[in-house]
Amino acid sequence: MVFISQKVRNALMKGVDSAIIERILMETSEERMTKNIIEMADVSFRYTEENPDLILDNVNLSIEKGEWVTIIGPNGSGKSTLTKTMNGLILPSDGKIVIDGTEMTEENLWSVRRKIGMVFQNPENQFVGATVEDDVAFGLENIGMARDEMKTRVKDALLRVDMWDLADRQPANLSGGQKQRAAIAGIIASRPEIIVLDEATSMLDPLGRQIVFDTIKDIKQEDNLTIISITHDINEALESDRIVVMEKGKIVAVGTPEEIFAYGERLIDLGLEVPFSETLKTSLRDVGFPVPKEYLTDERMMEWLWIYNSKM
């Protein structure tokens, strides 16, 4: 898909000179580049030089500041490896990664990492403190933050995830959802610009999943954070600005939720779930109903069914 800005559209409609249009294109490109908080160019990764198998294969991806991007794909497609390269947990074998205007290298790895916080599937793997408050403070202590500032940040982070009343509780005694919210508090206390969620809600029951998801949405809105989420939860994916589909270490599709879920059966072939409305549409098509080709949300599917039925 070719992106054409409104400036260029207007210039073309007015018959503006090609040199001016070229300058507008350059300005538009620069504007878009300055908005990108993550740039991945020709990124590949293999575990060893002796092993030719690529876990990531020539990945190119740009993510704008403030975006919510969901990464989906079958097991082994490279989703987690992709986010680990973003955070510098592993360095790419080839290509380059730019975080907020700084190209990631071994020399600046730690300073770049401070811009990114990761929340993993099992929060217990992140706990190191004897209490929830101690655990949230741990990362701040490591960077030598003044005690008064640290206490303020810890309390603010726990209040924002509705966990201040449990600050003295041992992490092991929390519920699954509370553990994940405590882990998120530990991340936001360090005030990163990017939060990566690696299956962060997959071990929770539906209520716990919704509470954690709503907490992340609120924090993103308040701080204009960039969220990168790996998930198998279709409802979470539908909330994102864009979806990235991966297969065998490659990015095979990027688009809005509507654009991606319109692939329907192609996603099912990859072993991925699709929204109920898309499953219903496929079933109706199989028995001869003239359903629309584009993706329909549940609400739009109900509206189409009502209109179709009223014509019968």
Kindly report, residue by residue over 65-107, the tens digit of the pLDDT: 999 999 999 888 999 999 999 999 999 999 999 999 999 999 9
- β pairing state of 226-230 and 250-255: unpaired
Q: Report whether pLDDT(171) > 70.
A: yes
pLDDT at 22 over 70: no
pLDDT band at 308 (very low <50, low <70, confident <90, very high): confident
123: left (phi over 0), alpha (psi -120 to 50) or beta: alpha
Give pLDDT tens digits for 198-218: 888 877 788 878 888 888 888
- Return d(Cα 141, Cα 200) in angstroms, integer: 25
Cα(231)–Cα(200) distance, rounded to whole angstroms?
Answer: 8
Mean of per-residue pLDDT scores for the chain: 85
Query: Inter-axis angle of helices 206-223 and 176-188, to 10 degrees?
Result: 10
- Please give the model's pTM, rounded to 2 decimal places: 0.78
pLDDT digit string, tens, across residues 106-118: 999 988 888 999 8
CB within 8 Å of 298: residues ≥ 6 apart? 275, 276, 277
The string of pLDDT tens digits covering residues 244-278 is 999 999 999 999 988 888 887 788 777 777 888 88
> Mean pLDDT throughout 131-144?
90
